[in-house]
Amino acid sequence: SVEGDAIKVYVRVRPPSEGTALPDGDQGLCLSVLSTNTIRLHSKPEPKIFTFDYVANMETTQESVFSSVAKNIVESCMNGYNGTIFAYGQTGSGKTFTMMGPSDSDNFTHSLRGVIPRSFEYLFFLIEREKEKAGSGKSFLCKCSFIEIYNEQIFDLLDSASAGLFLREHIKKGVFVDGAVEQVLSSAAEAYQVLTMGWRNRRVASTSMNRESSRSHAVFTITVESMEKNNEIVNIRSSLLNLVDLAGSERQKDTHTEGLRLKEAGNINRSLSCLGQVITALVDVGNGKQRHICYRDSKLTFLLRDSLGGNAKTCIIANVHPGSRCFGETLSTLNFAQRAKLIKNKAVVNEDTQGNVS
């Protein structure tokens, strides 16, 4: 059937770090990679098989992860499509290694550098190539912004003084963060520099608020604008490349958040805020009737609306740790990834001319 723009899901299994695999038991591992797109989770009583667009086993190189996940997306970005790469997984599942590279070195030149630096290199490589091909007729402008969404609030990571930015929409430019700093980029190295600087701000922000950073989402966006002059006609094309680090998928063992379950019940004075969610869910079942829901999307889904089922190329990299101690988290990551595959652009066109064909 038609391939469509469904989200591609890529699962990567990291190798267990030394010393952690064996003490867990005989097997030590809770899953095995069966082929390049299937994975078996040793759940009880029945093992469970998951199928994804790609499954990278422990031996997969950084280079190969990049070529199978990101290369395509960067290329379509050059063709005017928007592209988004999400990273998802529990802490310790290799998310940072996959996206950035080894944590303690200059990732930009390291042979094990991750998807993000490689995407930067490739993007600017493609831009240079285009420029050479087209001569002086074509020029490019790259800008980037870097924001963090924490607790439904938006912070600018390129301007640590700012707080509480707003999402707005522009009829030509789509969704944007009002007032976010945009930095012009001229090379991949510069892009990487901006990214690492923002990343440091993220940590600062998270400690000053006394909150764990893994509850925040970070979105790094590069806007690629090309201008082509053909005689007197100027042709401008622009597209976005979003790199998203989703909040950790793990349970928040050491914080209050998991206490949610009984806090709800125990704290009898709380506002009944879940009632709205229940009612919303009731209305959603409303068989195609006209209705309006007063509750808005989360900030993240609103910002990335286009990537989650629009005309964009989107990929999720789900990172898992194979250790049997991580079984619960791994199962939930795989379940999440499975669901993500179902997200698709639903172009419902109002069309009620049936019976009007006289």
Partner 1 sequence: MAAGGGAGKMAAEAWAAARDKFRAARALSRVESRKDPATEPFRSKYAARALLEEVKQLLSGAAEGGEAVRRAVLEYELGVNHADTEELSAGEEHLLRCTRLLQPQRLSRRCVALYIQAQVARSGSGDGSGSGNGPHPALCPQNNLGILWSERDEIHAAREHLEAAESAYQQYMKEDGNPPLDPSEHFMDEEEKLTDQERSKRFEKAYTHTLYYLAQVYQHLEMIEKAAQYCHTTLKRQLEFSGYYPVEWALNAATLSQYYLSKQCFMEARHCLAAANVIFSQAGQVPSAEDNETEQDQQDLRQRKAEIARCWIKYCLNLLQSARKLLEDNIGELDLDRQLELKAQRKKEEDEKENGRKKAVLFVTSDICDSVLAMEEKVSCVYPLDFQEAREIFLVGQNYVQEAKEFFQVDGYVTDHIEIVQDHSALFKVLAFFEEDYERRCKMHKRRVDMLEPLCADLNPQYYLLISRQLQFELADTYYEMMDLKVAIGNRLEELDPHTIKKINSLAQLAIKYYELFLDSLRNPDKVFPEELEEDVLRPAMVAKFHIARLYGKLITSDGKKQLENMQTSLEYYTFLVDYCEKYPDAVRAVETELELSKEMVGLLPARMERLRAKLSPFI
Site for partner 1 in 327-356 (CB under 8 A): 328, 331-332, 335-336, 339-340, 343, 345-351, 353-356
Residues 96-135 that bind partner 1 (CB under 8 A): none
Residues 196-255 that bind partner 1 (CB under 8 A): 210-212, 217, 239, 246-247, 249, 251, 253-255
- Among 40, 48, 81, 131, which residue sits at the site for partner 1 (rule: CB under 8 A)? 81
Our CB check for partner 1 shows the closer of 57 and 72 to be: 72
Binding mask of the shown chain, residues 245 to 274, with x at each position contacting partner 1 by CB under 8 A:
-xx-x-x-xxxx-xxxxxxxxx-xx-xxxx
DSSP 110-164: -TT--HHHHHHHHHHHHHHHHHHHHGGGEEEEEEEEEEEEETTEEEETT-TT---
Report how many residues bind partner 1 under the rule CB under 8 A: 94
> What gap in Å lies between CA 339 and CA 235, rounded to an integer?
39
Least distance between partner 1 and beta carbon 325 (Å): 13
Say if residues 167 and 126 touch (Cβ distance below 8 Å). Answer: no
- Among 169, 189, 313, 325, which residue sits at the site for partner 1 (rule: CB under 8 A)? 169
As beta bridge partners, residue 145 has 221
Length of the chain: 358
> What gap in Å lies between CA 357 and CA 353, rounded to an integer?
8
- Piece of the chain touching partner 1 by CB under 8 A; list 109-117, 120-128, 131-139, 283-291: 283-291
- Piece of the chain touching partner 1 by CB under 8 A; list 12-20, 32-40, 179-187, 326-334: 326-334
DSSP 196-259: HHHHHHHHHHHHHTT--GGGSEEEEEEEEEEEEEETTEEEEEEEEEEEEEPPP-S--TTSSGGG
* Cβ-based neighbour number of residue 330 at 10 Å: 28
Least distance between partner 1 and beta carbon 349 (Å): 4
Our CB check for partner 1 shows the closer of 23 and 355 to be: 355
- Among 24, 306, 325, 341, which residue sits at the site for partner 1 (rule: CB under 8 A)? 306
> What gap in Å lies between CA 215 and CA 247, rounded to an integer?
5
- Among 116, 181, 300, 317, which residue sits at the site for partner 1 (rule: CB under 8 A)? 300
Our CB check for partner 1 shows the closer of 133 and 256 to be: 256
Our CB check for partner 1 shows the closer of 188 and 316 to be: 316
Say if residues 111 and 182 touch (Cβ distance below 8 Å). Answer: no
As beta bridge partners, residue 41 has 31, 48
Least distance between partner 1 and beta carbon 35 (Å): 25
Least distance between partner 1 and beta carbon 243 (Å): 15
> What gap in Å lies between CA 3 and CA 22, rounded to an integer?
42
Our CB check for partner 1 shows the closer of 129 and 173 to be: 173
